[in-house]
Structure 1
Amino acid sequence: MFDIKKVPFSRYGSYMVISPIHGIDENHLYLRNVRNGDNDLGEVFRIEVLANNQVVPYRTVLNPTVLRLEADKGFADFIMSEEKVLQIRSQGVGIRLTGITGAYDYAVPANDNRFEVNHSKQEIRYMLTPIKGELLMDAPFQEQRCLKIVADFLPDLVSLKMECAIEEFFTIWHERQYMEFSKAQELVRLEFQNWLNHSLECESKWINGRTLASYITWSCVVQPEGLLTRPAMYMSKNWMTNIWSWDHCFNALALSKKQPQLAWDQFMTFFEHQDETGMLPDFLNNRFALWNFTKPPIHGWTLKQLMENREFVTRERLQEVYEPLCKWTEWWFEYRDDDQDGIPQYNHGNDSGWDNSTIFHQGTPVESPDLSSFLILQIEVLAEIADELGKKDEAFEWAAKSKDLLNRLISHFWKQDRFTAVKSGNHSSIESESLVLYIPIILGKRLPESIRKVLAGGLVNEFLTQFGLATEKPTSPYFREDGYWRGPIWAPTTLLLYHGLEESGETEIAQEVAQRFCNMANQAGMAENYHALTGESLRDPAFTWTSSVFLLLAHALMK
């Protein structure tokens, strides 16, 4: 069972969610629509339990396929039988849905005692259908809208049972029958069980974490709609209701072994919206893409791992991704190298993914060794793909560029036995004790052994807490307990550094980092990030890239 105050109730393919409104109203549950990005929490109806025509308190019991609201007089079960259908069955109690309405929202009666609710504010309609019991609607109309919309689904007076359905639609609702509740519930249970069976295995001590991580990833997939032409895994259905252009890579990796087609969908979704210059948007949802920022080029690092499954990542798929990946790589050198020194820069912390890292506290643009490290690997992968596709001259050029950038990385950033970030232009060093400066360890044995040893030792001695790798050294004056990228432990950086340590031959350290992270996530849940000194969850408490990294690391530790 999960905590509904942390983990939203939804299902694969659906934009419908039941959860509290975090930071606004955490004492009630709401039916929400998560189509419109993270600037809108998507409240549609507040959900309450009725007994004897009075609102009564209830307790929640949430498992992956059914949400139960328990009151003293009875209970109500909620299932999402289809992507656009919520079905409710109750015994002894009724359910009240109170519309969270705007300027033009209204309800109108339809056939068979149904009501259509046109939720203009959320740009979607809902058909409310009583199946057993009755529907009482209080929706007085005035001028252009209903002053309120309150739908009471009440049990019949004989059996004290109630059943109803709430279905989303955009234009015209088509007459239909809904599946019998118990049958629908079983089908949803089997669907989730199939997903769970296709999630990465782990040791039995982390089985609760595996179930939670699997539920979060399953329930956060939305069906293709609008800009999303493939099934897409949102980062969360709490409030981070978008896909960011490096988050999707970690989700693709966790899916790649057991669900390779869905993994490829996650990986390719941003390249379908690539700008003609080669830039990828910062984030996507069904409605829009944000172009104010982008995210770091970890796509080559990701693709290299996806390519381990060559039965799926075929020559045709490499042809599909090659040109977009070339353009994405070249974008950094053409549009993010203002001083033309061959070392690309970040113009904002958001472009790095480490939004407020201390490497940015003296302003931008900043040349940082993590960016060059990602590009070295990405260019190397491009050389490999070009060679396989018979583009021998391009393969030679990419290989040479990767080696040149590696030499530039070391000469440009390695100073006094440590990597440092510098201001673009004058190349003055930036005072920082951020974990981001250790990302070059992902280059593994491409780096000299002396550098690898310093990096591995620094990770263990300066950043590794009881729970994992802090993103700012805990003794740093800039360390903050809930400081986003200035202290808390994050899943993606943990996975990157785990792989780097493995590639550097530091297997024992890598496994210790993974063990601590998995223990923490199994205990605290799949949060956006974690308190580095206590291991408690911080920010969004049900995040997909954390779930994916947990599954990847827990599975790797089985070997």
Structure 2
Amino acid sequence: MFDIKKVPFSRNGSYMVISPLHGKDEQHLYLRNIRNGDNDLGEVFRIEVLADGQVVQYAPVLSPNFLRLETDRGFADFVISEAKVLQIRSVGVGVRLTGITGAYDYAVPVNNDRFEVNHSKQEIRYMMTPIKGQLLMDAPFQEQRCLKIVADFLPETQSSEMECAIEEFFTVWNEREYLQFSNVLESVRNEFQTWLDHSLECDVKLTNGRELAAYITWSCIVQPEGKLTRPAMYMSKNWMTNIWSWDHCFNALALAKKQPELAWDQFMIFFEHQDESGMLPDFLNNRFALWNFTKPPIHGWTLKQLMENRDIVTKGKLQEVYEPLCKWTEWWFKYRDDDHDGIPQYNHGNDSGWDNSTIFHQGTPIESPDLSSFLILQMETLSEIAEELGEKEESREWAKKSNDLLDRMIRHFWINERFAAVKSGDHSIIESESLVLYIPIILGKRLPDSIRKKLVEGIISNDFLTPFGLATEKPTSAYFREDGYWRGPIWAPTTLLVYKGLADSGETELAQVVAHRFCNMANQSGMAENFHALTGESLRDPAFTWTSSVFLILANTLNSY
């Protein structure tokens, strides 16, 4: 059972969600439409339970396949039977749906028993169909809209059942029959169980975390629609209702072993929206892509790991991704190197993924060693792909560029026995105690032994490694904040990056410590967006997919030891 105050109720493929309105109304549950991005919460109907015509209190019980609202008079069960269909069954009580309406929203009767609700505000229509019992609609029309839209689904008698269906559609609705409720429950239960069976295994002590992570990743997938050309795993169905252009990589990695085709969909979806310049958008949803920012080029690092499954990452798929990955790499050198020193820069913290890291507290543009590290690995991966595709000369060129950037990065950023970020142009050192300066550990044994050892020592001696995992800002830093986003809290992606770097550096024991602490924390606190570095408490969005994916990856590595 999951806590619906943290984990929204939805299902694989659906844009329909039931949850509270976080930060707005956390006392009630709402049916939401999460299309069109995260500019609003997409609330469509407030959900209430009725007994004898009166609203009564209920206790929500959330399972992977259905949501039950329990009262002392009876209960109401909700199941999303298909991506666009919500079915409800109640015993002893009724269900009220109150529209959260705007300027042009209205309800109109259809065939005497149904009602069509045109929710102009959310740009979608709903067909409301009573299957057992009755539908009473209170929707007085005035000028251009209904003053209110209140739909009461009621049983015929106090002891009888009520069943109904709420179906999304855009243009025309075609009459149909709905599946028997008990069959729907079993079907969705089996579907989730299949997903769980195809999720990465872990130690039995982490079973609760595994089931939660599996539910979040399963339920956060939306079907292709509009801009989304492939099934896409949103970051959350709470309020982070987009996919971002590095988050998708971590979700792809968690799917690679058991669901490789879906993993490839996650990895490739951004390249299908790549700008002619080579830039990737910051985020995508069904309606638009945002181009004000981008995210760091971790795609070569990701692809190298996906390539371990060559049954799926075939020569054809390498051909598919090679040119887009070349353009993405070249974009950083063409358009993000204003001082032409061969070291690409970040123009904003958002472009790094570490939005408010202390490496940005003196302004931008800045040159940071993590960016060069990602590009070194990306060009190395391009060299390997070019070799396999028979492009020998291109392979040699990419290998040379990778090696040259490695040498240049060390000369540029290794200052006083540590890596530092510098201002682009005058190369003045930025004082920072951010974990981002240790991300070059991902280069593993490509780094000189002395540098690699200093990075490992710094991670330990600077107290980044707390009892719960890796803080993103040194806890004794003047800039450390308990809920400071990238100035302290533990994050899943940085944990996986450092974990992989440590493992590739031969620091197996320390890598396992990092994985163990993170997994224990997430198993206890849930799959939150980030975590309090000193207590392990969940912070921000409490049901996040890249946290779930990283948990599954790391828990699976622990299971193998």
Q: Name the TM-score, length of structure 2 as normaliser.
A: 0.99
Aligned-residue offset at 1:160: 2.3
Aligned-partner Cα distance in 1 for 2:350–2:457 = 28
Aligned to 1:416: 416
Aligned-residue offset at 1:112: 4.8
Aligned to 1:294: 294
Aligned to 1:105: 105
Aligned-residue offset at 1:32: 0.1
Deviations 1:474-500 (A, max 9, x none): 000000000000000000000000000
- What pairs with 1:270-309 in structure 2 (closer than 5 Å)? 270-309=270-309
Aligned to 1:525: 526
- What pairs with 1:89-168 in structure 2 (closer than 5 Å)? 89-157=89-157, 159-168=159-168
Residues 93, 158 of structure 2: 8 Å contact kept = no
Aligned-partner Cα distance in 2 for 1:366–1:150 = 54
Q: Tell me the secondary structure at the aligned position of residue 419 of structure 2.
A: coil
Deviations 1:97-123 (A, max 9, x none): 000000000000001500000000000
Q: Tell me the secondary structure at the aligned position of residue 293 of structure 1.
A: coil
Q: Tell me the secondary structure at the aligned position of residue 35 of structure 1.
A: coil
Aligned to 1:497: 498
Aligned-partner Cα distance in 2 for 1:392–1:507 = 35
Aligned to 1:74: 74
- What pairs with 1:32-431 in structure 2 (closer than 5 Å)? 32-157=32-157, 159-431=159-431
Q: Tell me the secondary structure at the aligned position of residue 7 of structure 2.
A: coil
Q: Tell me the secondary structure at the aligned position of residue 128 of structure 2.
A: strand
Deviations 1:283-323 (A, max 9, x none): 00000000000000000000000000001100000000000
Aligned-residue offset at 1:459: 1.0
Residues 88, 163 of structure 1: 8 Å contact kept = yes
Aligned-partner Cα distance in 2 for 1:381–1:157 = 67
Question: Which stretch has the larger CA shift, 109-118 or 314-323?
Answer: 109-118
The alignment status of 1:554 with 2:552, answered yes or no, reads no
Aligned to 2:16: 16
Aligned-partner Cα distance in 2 for 1:408–1:156 = 77
Deviations 1:392-411 (A, max 9, x none): 11001000000000001100
Deviations 1:524-558 (A, max 9, x none): 00000000000000000000000000000000111
Query: How many residue pairs end up in the alignment?
Result: 559
Tell me which amino acid in the other structure corresponds to 2:60: T
- What pairs with 1:430-445 in structure 2 (closer than 5 Å)? 430-445=430-445
Aligned-partner Cα distance in 2 for 1:199–1:369 = 34
Residues 30, 45 of structure 1: 8 Å contact kept = yes
Q: Tell me the secondary structure at the aligned position of residue 469 of structure 2.
A: coil
Tell me which amino acid in the other structure corresponds to 2:250: F
Tell me which amino acid in the other structure corresponds to 1:140: P
Q: Tell me the secondary structure at the aligned position of residue 521 of structure 2.
A: helix
Aligned to 2:517: 516
The alignment status of 1:460 with 2:460, answered yes or no, reads yes
Unmatched runs of 5 consecutive residues or more in structure 2: none
Deviations 1:147-186 (A, max 9, x none): 0000000011164210000000000000000000000110
Residues 92, 158 of structure 2: 8 Å contact kept = no
Question: Which stretch has the larger CA shift, 523-532 or 109-118?
Answer: 109-118
Structure 1 stretches of at least 4 aligned residues deviating more than 2 Å after TM superposition: none
RMSD: 0.5
Tell me which amino acid in the other structure corresponds to 1:286: N
Unmatched runs of 5 consecutive residues or more in structure 1: none
Residues 202, 554 of structure 1: 8 Å contact kept = yes
Alpha carbons of structure 1 residues 158 and 488: separation in structure 2 relative to 1, 3 Å: closer
Residues 296, 352 of structure 2: 8 Å contact kept = yes
Residues 491, 530 of structure 2: 8 Å contact kept = yes
Aligned-residue offset at 1:376: 0.1
Aligned-residue offset at 1:421: 0.1
Aligned-partner Cα distance in 2 for 1:246–1:234 = 12
Alpha carbons of structure 1 residues 224 and 518: separation in structure 2 relative to 1, 3 Å: same
Alpha carbons of structure 1 residues 158 and 410: separation in structure 2 relative to 1, 3 Å: closer
Deviations 1:119-139 (A, max 9, x none): 000000000000001000000
Aligned-partner Cα distance in 1 for 2:533–2:117 = 46
Aligned-partner Cα distance in 1 for 2:314–2:521 = 37
Residues 282, 294 of structure 1: 8 Å contact kept = yes
Deviations 1:36-91 (A, max 9, x none): 10111100000000000000100010010110000110000000000000000000
Q: Tell me the secondary structure at the aligned position of residue 557 of structure 1.
A: helix
Aligned-partner Cα distance in 1 for 2:284–2:385 = 27
Tell me which amino acid in the other structure corresponds to 2:422: V
Aligned-partner Cα distance in 1 for 2:247–2:192 = 23
Aligned-partner Cα distance in 2 for 1:162–1:460 = 60
- What pairs with 1:536-555 in structure 2 (closer than 5 Å)? 536-555=537-556
Q: Tell me the secondary structure at the aligned position of residue 415 of structure 2.
A: coil
Aligned-partner Cα distance in 2 for 1:365–1:39 = 28
Aligned-partner Cα distance in 2 for 1:461–1:123 = 54
Residues 250, 493 of structure 2: 8 Å contact kept = yes
Tell me which amino acid in the other structure corresponds to 2:558: L
The alignment status of 1:472 with 2:473, answered yes or no, reads yes
Aligned-residue offset at 1:413: 0.2
Residues 460, 509 of structure 1: 8 Å contact kept = no
Residues 117, 128 of structure 1: 8 Å contact kept = yes
Tell me which amino acid in the other structure corresponds to 1:507: T
The alignment status of 1:488 with 2:492, answered yes or no, reads no
Aligned-partner Cα distance in 2 for 1:154–1:528 = 39
